[in-house]
Chains A and B, each alone.
Chain A
Amino acid sequence: MFETARFEGERRLTGSVVVALGLSAFAAMMVLIAPAILDEFDVAALTESFPPALVEAMRLDVIATIEGFMALELYWFGWLLVLGIYVAYNAASAIAGDIDDGTMDTLLAAPVSRWQVLFEKYLSLLVPILVVNVVVLVVVYAGTQLVNEPIAAVDLVAVHALSVPYLLFWGAFGMLASVIAPRRVVAEGVAAGALVATFLVETVADGTDLDWLGLVSPTRYYDPVAILTASDYNYTGAALLLAGTAVLLLASGAWFARRDVQ
């Protein structure tokens, strides 16, 4: 048990560290330039010069604080989009890629069930999710202390912790794409494309008549801006994301168990 999770997890370690370092560098840069920028921000002028809908959508009203600045510049973009796509993309290639290159045959020739293969491959996605979150959390915490613009540690921990259900959801979505799609590239495209599409839907529809559209967007259930600027932790959203994750994983397993591996 867990041999596959361990093997796949080890393989993901290098990529995870690279992504963690990349996002850390980006985070460090944001932290370093934040004090200078925050001093110059004139929020009133900013919100006046843009249409209210755009201000609302881009959450420009909160950008003048270190919390808002980091939430928008790092987490909104880096977590909702970049890390989300990374996880979804990796999940999407997990099964479809192995089938494409024949690795799945060697694996399924062993006395393992497909449910187990799928579940353990999914489990290995915890490596990038945890490595990146822990590393960047430390970097942001230390960095904001260093530039004397501290963010409440509890909020920082929460913004990372609550991103885990969001990322797990996209991992599960990627797994579903991976077992259904006929080829690896299709699975990867569908997974990453769906993430971007739902992200845009939530961003654009937020506060408009089409607000309800955002209900189907996972983006709605993890809001780094609310967590950092208002200490508003959406536990219900996290629970919904985890429930969605479970449903997607069950569907993936059922599909994978029945499909032909060609």
Chain B
Amino acid sequence: MPAIQTHDLTKYYGDVCGVEDLSFSVEEGEVFGFLGPNGAGKTTAIRTLMGFQSPTEGTATVLDADITDTAALRRVRANVGYLPSEPGFDESVTGRRLLDYHGSLRGDVRSDELLELFDPPLDRRVGEYSRGNVQMLAIVMAFMHDPDLLIMDEPTSGLDPLKQEELLEFIRAEQDRGKTFFFSSHILSEVRKVCDRIGIIREGRLVELEDVASLIDRSGKTVRANIGGSVTAAEFEIEGAHDVTVSGGPGSADQASDTATGDDAPEIDGGEETTSVSFTYTGAYEPLLGHLLEYELLDLAIEEAPLEDVFMRFYGDHDAEAVVERVENGTDENGGDEDGGPGEDGHDEAQDAEAETADV
């Protein structure tokens, strides 16, 4: 039985879409990362799963309890740890009193052990806590009853880098003890470190569901080449190349073109000059190197693409389905796609940011 299963889970706030048609499952014992920018619907999904709000449509189960069955959900919450994105506590009491209180509500079998790792100043009032201390207190509360399933919303937020690392390490250790994790994040490096699978959510919809290893595989390599003479982006529209960027040498204005339309990609003049070409590549080495060797290759760097870039590929695009299709086919089909082109990146991102803030 999956620890969490959702089927077309939809939540609207009036006319505003929180999440739409989310379908995924989190298997027992896995660490599932739920990725998306702020406002994408991560928190909405999590709060709906916790039963804080009822879904507009669709269903979901948490540890086999239907989230609309309040009594069943209440019972399984004894076995669920929850870490909110912005933990709120009564600020007039000490951390110790709060731990006692919440321990009495959900049981406390391991707070002593947890407090060695995450050590907020328990004898001070929570109102005097720094953000990091509040987060540590919330982490202790999420784990103190030793639940089998942990639902965490941006778990590392507010922690200093050292504590972030400790938390991720702790999550790995807990996974070894058989615990299941469902956590949201917008930070890819942490997801990459601990997650087995990730779901990427954007504007309330799941645009990708993938295990991390194959996502990194598919995310491919970043290729940067300096080539003598002038080339067009269209020339690098080889199979497996994405987001080809060409910039001219000194003297000519930098021109960037991507894969939107191969036909009218700008030509770069300047006979003797060098041209920088960079793109993400998801194919095998032979065809790539073969293609590159057709040019006067001055410099070449091939490195693993940062997951951030992959991530940007999901968000730099307006049409989520086209992105999924593109990634799944492992080819770039934007040349023939009406609205699939990422366009000028900066512009697109600004638009996305607007759309997403409206989405909160």
- Contacts from A to B (Cβ < 8 Å): 3-4, 7, 11, 98, 101-114, 257-258, 260-262
Contact = CB atoms under 8 A, between A and B. Distances in A.
B170 interface: no
Nearest to A116: B74
Contacts of B17: none
Contacts of B116: none
Interface residues of B, number: 33
Given A103-B89, A106-B89, A111 B84 contact: no
Nearest to A103: B88
Contacts of B78: 111
B170 to A, nearest CB: 19
A169 B88 CA distance: 30
Contact of B75 (A111, A260, A262): A111
A261 B180 CA distance: 25
B87 A110 contact: no
Q: Report which residue of B47, B77, B105, B141 has the largest number of chain A beta carbons within 10 angstroms of its beta carbon.
A: B105
A112 B76 CA distance: 11
Interface in B70-97: 70-71, 74-78, 80-82, 84, 86-90, 92-93, 97
B93 A106 contact: no
Given A105-B88, A111-B75, A257 B70 contact: yes
A90 to B, nearest CB: 14
B138 A260 contact: no
Top 8 nearest A-B pairs (CB, nearest first) are A102-B88, A260-B53, A109-B82, A110-B105, A111-B78, A3-B104, A261-B52, A111-B77
B92 A11 contact: yes
B102 interface: yes
Nearest to A3: B104
B295 interface: no
Given A3-B101, A260-B52, A106 B106 contact: no
Given A111-B74, A111-B106, A106 B88 contact: yes
Contact of A111 (B52, B101, B105): B105
A198 B70 CA distance: 37
Contacts of B84: 102, 105-106, 109
8 contacts: A7-B101, A102-B88, A105-B82, A107-B105, A109-B81, A111-B106, A113-B74, A262-B13
Contacts of A257: 70
A258 B71 CA distance: 13
B90 A103 contact: yes
Interface string B130-150: 000000001001000000000
Given A112-B74, A112-B105, A106 B87 contact: yes
A106 B75 contact: no
A169 B141 CA distance: 35
Given A3-B101, A103-B88, A103-B90, A110 B52 contact: no
A103 B92 CA distance: 12
A1 B261 CA distance: 67
Given A11-B93, A106-B89, A262-B52, 9 more contacts: A3-B104, A106-B82, A106-B84, A110-B105, A111-B106, A260-B53, A261-B52, A261-B53, A262-B13
B89 A108 contact: no
A102 B105 contact: no
Interface string B151-179: 00000000000000000000000000000
Contacts of A260: 52-54
A106 B52 contact: no
Nearest to B103: A3
